Structure 1
Amino acid sequence: MTRMKRREFVLAGGVSAVLAGCDAPRLGGADRLAFGATQQAAPPDLSGIDLYIPGYAPWLAKYQGVPVLEHPRMRRAIPKGYDQNITMLTRFGFDGSVRQALFPVRGHDIAISPDKRLGFFGSMERDTYVAFDPKTLDRIALGKPVRPYWIGGGHGAFLGNDLVAVTERAPKRPYSGKPQDHFGHVTLRDPRSLKIVGDFSTHGIAPHEIRILSDGSHAAIANYGSTVAPGETDYGLPRHIVEPSITVVEMESGKLVDKYLGNAREQLRHLCARDRETIFAIQAELIGEGEDRHFFKGQAAAHDADPTNSEGTSYAVAPTVRVNTASGRLVEVGTAAARTLMRHGLSIEFDEAHEEVIASYPATHTVMVFDAGSGALKHRTECQPIGLQYPCGIALLPGQEFYVVAGYMRNLYVFERGTHRLHRELCHYPLNFGHSHIVAA
């Protein structure tokens, strides 16, 4: 999660209008050409597609001139007396519609059922999950972790329409000396009631993102691998990293099938996967605030503070990796030059149609595309020159040859899959209020 204090200036200019569903003015045709975008006689119809965007900083938002945290309509999903973390969820339709609601969760990622009838809001290191109606954003159910003092891992994934798999972390305690004491679990839940119908070990410490493999019977899981250090009560800097890993688990039996270990400096946070042979993962190395200043040497102009950094932290370089089944190891992807830009890797998606992997790196305003077979760098988008700041969420648009990249606080940019050309005529410019991931349905 991230802090947004000291950054209220980012909301200047029409918060209420955006919340009501209005877009910022669009650039004209000449401007689109100047930005290298394409012109189309008949833009594709994306009106049936919705984007779901968690908003980490609802205290910065107003609805009809009233702070959203105080507005009854926005608070309709918050239980009476609830006084813990609140995250705002925005459903942005490509038909221009906007619907928003606050939820009683330290939200991180959204999952939507294939039939679009149910939504799941994952909890990041807190003990409340939410099931909701994807159209109305009404709350359907609340869920709790598998055991007392366990906490959410942040992500979930649907298995068809009838099950949702949820990552959960063992209690936040100092390292015991035995990795297995800190292994997390995946709970299998009824997506409407959030009742647990099964669970299995992730065989890794502090699980985060989960992906269901194409065979439908295995799950790939990114495990941070970090714990509270011995003798401490909370996470420190640098993080106490014990065993970062990617694990592949057979869901029915809970059997560990594959395990790939990272190194002692970097957490393994996010991943995308098709099968056991095609898994790419995002690493991250947290450092202290200001310890990243050497990355900015040589810049001629002042720059803003990175809003994606958590309080007192920044990010070092941490190369994105893929599994190598022959060696049983994780190998770095891209070029040496590209890897210097891999700071705070965040979202990563697999484009099966083009055999490509698309990843965002908000700390360097960069989106990279890798060959899914070799890990070679195929394309790099420098986002600042086109007006996209801190690219975070990535979503492939279902049934379309496009994907969306969302700026941390604002804007939704649409690119063509395969060519990675910007389609300015399809972009929208709403406020996002801070996020990590988005999902399209």
Structure 2
Amino acid sequence: MASRRRFLAGLLATGLAPLPTWADAGDPSFLSAARTPGGDYVLVGLDDAGAERFRIPLPARGHAAAAHPTRPEAVAFARRPGTFAVVLDCRNGDVLAQLNCPQGRHFYGHGTFDGLGDLLFTTENDYRAGQGRIGIWDARRGYVRIGEIASHGVGPHDLRLMPDGTLVVANGGIDTHPASGREKLNIPTMRPNLTYLDIDGQVLDQLEPSHYHASIRHLSVRTDGLVGIAMQWQGEVAEAPALAATHLRGEDMRAMGDGSGLNGYVGSIAFSGEGSQLAITSPRAGVAQVFDITTGSVAQLVHEVDICGVAAWRSEMIFTSGQGAIFDLANSGPPNAMHDLTWDNHLVKIIPG
């Protein structure tokens, strides 16, 4: 056995051994954080049918994850205002690295790799300055932190990689501090924005929603660069405007639908697999709204208790709920799969490079 290990190590050193891929982790299609019936927290890999491929323990409640584009590695992020993120080998559950925010920072629960998987970008709060930051980590060297750039806003929650290799950031506009838990500290003066950045931190475009109480929180990006935007309303629920929009750089933000029936809260967003529809979910209202991109109108309503996770699936989209269900739009019968898990907010699609 020792001789075999030395032999394999020698092959890896010479670059002759095949590098591990997502197929070595069961070929999952999605990642989701979840809570077990016993109260433990896990990161789960799911295949295209919703079956479990792996289950890896997490140190605390997870929020979202970032999947490496080539290696079977996932970065699981703590729920805001968490200060940890763990890099997991999805073949065996080993912790490859733990990312710790610099002093005076916390994570916002999201991150994204660049197209090659060389760099990881994370949304962070410099709570002493009350400003957002994007942390930059080198995945080629054990996820060492190599720098940061300004998010050019307050409360950067989600960020996504654009087709041209730049970044788009959802600056929610809400200031928080770990000493105050999840309390929102600046609602009267909040100013959310959508910011496009190159990886050197230069602002390429920036715009604000029409209502300053519409906190931009989650994003989805279509292959042509159209950005789907999900917002959470910080004013009176009855006064909520549209909480979904789309945007192309250089153009105005295009609102979709209205905020009625969402209880002021949108938890996740995703384009359909073929890109003609956009879905937002509201676990508080138990509903998903599915929009036709061409007309901007609601094409379908999906009613499900505690619905939140959504991702592109085949030509359509697939959803998860806090009741353990996984289901798609076309299925009017039983769910595609049921699990003894409480799925957390996000269903992350793995897109191998």
TM norm structure 1: 0.64
Q: Which residue in the other structure is 2:279 paired with?
A: 358
Q: Deviations over 1:162-200 (max 9, x none)?
A: 2221111111x5xxxxxxx43211122123722113321
**Residues 283 and 391 (structure 1), Cα distance of their counterparts in 2 relative to 1, 3 Å cut:** same
Aligned-partner SS, 1:205: coil
Q: Determine which of 75, 86, 91 is the counterpart of 2:45.
A: 91
TM norm structure 2: 0.78
- Tell whether 2:311 aligns with 1:332: no
Identity of aligned residues (%): 19
**Residues 283 and 427 (structure 1), Cα distance of their counterparts in 2 relative to 1, 3 Å cut:** same
Whether contact under 8 Å (2:274, 2:315) holds in the other structure is no
1-structure distance, mates of 2:294, 2:68: 29
Q: Deviations over 1:126-152 (max 9, x none)?
A: 21111001232322110112x311000
Q: CA deviation at 1:240?
A: 4.6
Q: CA deviation at 1:256?
A: 0.7
Q: Which residue in the other structure is 1:261 paired with?
A: 208
The structure carrying a bigger strand percent of its residues is: 2
Q: Deviations over 1:37-95 (max 9, x none)?
A: xxxxxxxxxx944432212x45xx23xxxxx65xxxxxxxxxxxxxxxxx322223448
Q: Which residue in the other structure is 1:130 paired with?
A: 86
- Tell whether 2:145 aligns with 1:196: yes
**Residues 196 and 276 (structure 1), Cα distance of their counterparts in 2 relative to 1, 3 Å cut:** farther
Q: Deviations over 1:221-251 (max 9, x none)?
A: 101101259xx89725884552111100011
2-structure distance, mates of 1:48, 1:275: 23
**Residues 241 and 105 (structure 1), Cα distance of their counterparts in 2 relative to 1, 3 Å cut:** farther
- Tell whether 2:339 aligns with 1:430: yes
Whether contact under 8 Å (1:222, 1:271) holds in the other structure is yes
Larger Rg over CA atoms: 1
List alignment gaps of at least 5 residues for structure 1.
1-46, 63-67, 70-86, 174-180, 296-314, 416-420
Q: Which residue in the other structure is 2:194 paired with?
A: 246
**Residues 424 and 440 (structure 1), Cα distance of their counterparts in 2 relative to 1, 3 Å cut:** farther
**Residues 424 and 138 (structure 1), Cα distance of their counterparts in 2 relative to 1, 3 Å cut:** farther
Q: CA deviation at 1:121?
A: 0.9
- Tell whether 2:152 aligns with 1:214: no
Q: Which residue in the other structure is 2:11 paired with?
A: none
2-structure distance, mates of 1:277, 1:137: 34
Q: Which residue in the other structure is 1:394 paired with?
A: 310
Aligned-partner SS, 1:354: coil
Q: RMSD of the TM alignment (CA)?
A: 3.1
2-structure distance, mates of 1:49, 1:100: 11
List alignment gaps of at least 5 residues for structure 2.
1-25
Aligned-partner SS, 2:153: strand
**Residues 409 and 238 (structure 1), Cα distance of their counterparts in 2 relative to 1, 3 Å cut:** farther
Aligned ranges 1:408-423 → 2 under 5 Å: 408-415=322-329, 421-422=330-331
Q: How many residues align?
A: 317
**Which amino acid in the other structure matches residue 320 of structure 1?**
A
Q: CA deviation at 1:208?
A: 0.7
